[in-house]
Amino acid sequence: MINKNPYIPIPMKVIKIIDEVDTRDIKTFRLSFLNKEDEASFKYLPGQFAELSIYGKGESPIGIASSPTEKGYIEFTVMRMGTVVPGTVTSALHDLDEGAQIGIRGPLGNSWPIEFLEKKNVVVVGGGFAFTTLRSLVNYILHEDNRKRFGEITVIYGARNPGLLLYKNELAAWQKRSDIKTIITVDKGDESWQGREGFVPAVCKEIAPSPQNAVTVICGPPVMIRFTLPVFFELGFSKENILTSLEMRMKCGIGKCGRCNVGYKYVCSDGPVFSLADLEELLRDFATYK
């Protein structure tokens, strides 16, 4: 935490807003620090999140989508919520223009376990909108200072249709690189789609990554996770080597307010990243894969 008082946000400026998908309800916000000292002390790792704050609207916990190797800014990809209950903060964010100021509190939570992943093959599996901190992880690993520390990198990323894929330019760039295997799939393509069609679990089964010295990092909608986990069990991945990131309603983000309590863990401060072995230890009224 960078602020002495962990409940007070630091000011940030929105320097770029990118519309990510055809449906116009997912935007990436690039933020820069208003104070140099905040920038210097905001040290994060892929997998961490922050509370995005708009005074008068509230706060919302969002995963950091940029990689710490990108300097001068941080990015968050936010979906506009509000079809069922009011997505007050996300709607307000979507209504912002470049140049606006918002607050953030963070970095919060643990991260993808970078040291644990080193020297191993990493299989990154993402579905739909839940690709933000995975993107951070992939960009972190691909950075020239870091790439040597990791084994083979495989990315399997799927969305319902081509228009819903995030970070399309980056995906295209990854596909051209030889030091990463990038498999993009959509549930159903359109006329212009040249790529693969098929659900993420089926594609994982077909690609069949080897469990030898490998860790898989999975993020996606519950239905994707439910069908993808058995594939990795069958391939021989152990529960310690299957990692995911949990979501839960949060407020404080620092393990104090009690809201994201699941069993004896707080998702915000003990997580959000857990291994499947960790999760099986928790009492899960949140079961998604069984």
Applying CB under 8 A, the residues found at the interface with another protein are 1, 4-9, 11-12, 34-35, 53, 55-60, 81-87, 90, 101-103, 247-249, 251-252, 254-259, 261, 263-265, 269, 283, 285-286
248: exposed, middle or buried (Cβ count in 10 Å: 0-12, 13-18, 19+): middle
Element (H, E) at 41: helix 36-41
Give the nearest distance from C-beta 206 to another protein in angstroms.
30
Give the nearest distance from C-beta 256 to another protein in angstroms.
6
Residue 189: half-sphere exposure toward Cβ, Cα within 13 Å: 10
Give the nearest distance from C-beta 99 to another protein in angstroms.
11
Give the nearest distance from C-beta 283 to another protein in angstroms.
5
Q: Which is nearer to another protein, 40 or 172 (CB)?
A: 40
Give the nearest distance from C-beta 278 to another protein in angstroms.
13
Q: Which is nearer to another protein, 62 or 122 (CB)?
A: 62
The whole-angstrom separation of Cα 234 and Cα 209 is: 11
Tokens of 96: 């912002």
Residue 222 DSSP SS3: helix
Q: Which is nearer to another protein, 235 or 257 (CB)?
A: 257
Contact 31, 15 (CB under 8 A): yes
Residue of 251, 242, 213, 172 whose CA lies nearest to 6: 251
Q: Which is nearer to another protein, 204 or 268 (CB)?
A: 268
Q: E strands, the chain, where?
A: 10-19, 26-33, 49-54, 58-63, 74-79, 101-108, 121-127, 153-159, 181-186, 196-197, 214-219, 242-245, 261-262, 265-266, 273-275
Q: Which is nearer to another protein, 24 or 143 (CB)?
A: 24
Give the nearest distance from C-beta 210 to another protein in angstroms.
35
Q: Which is nearer to another protein, 165 or 267 (CB)?
A: 267
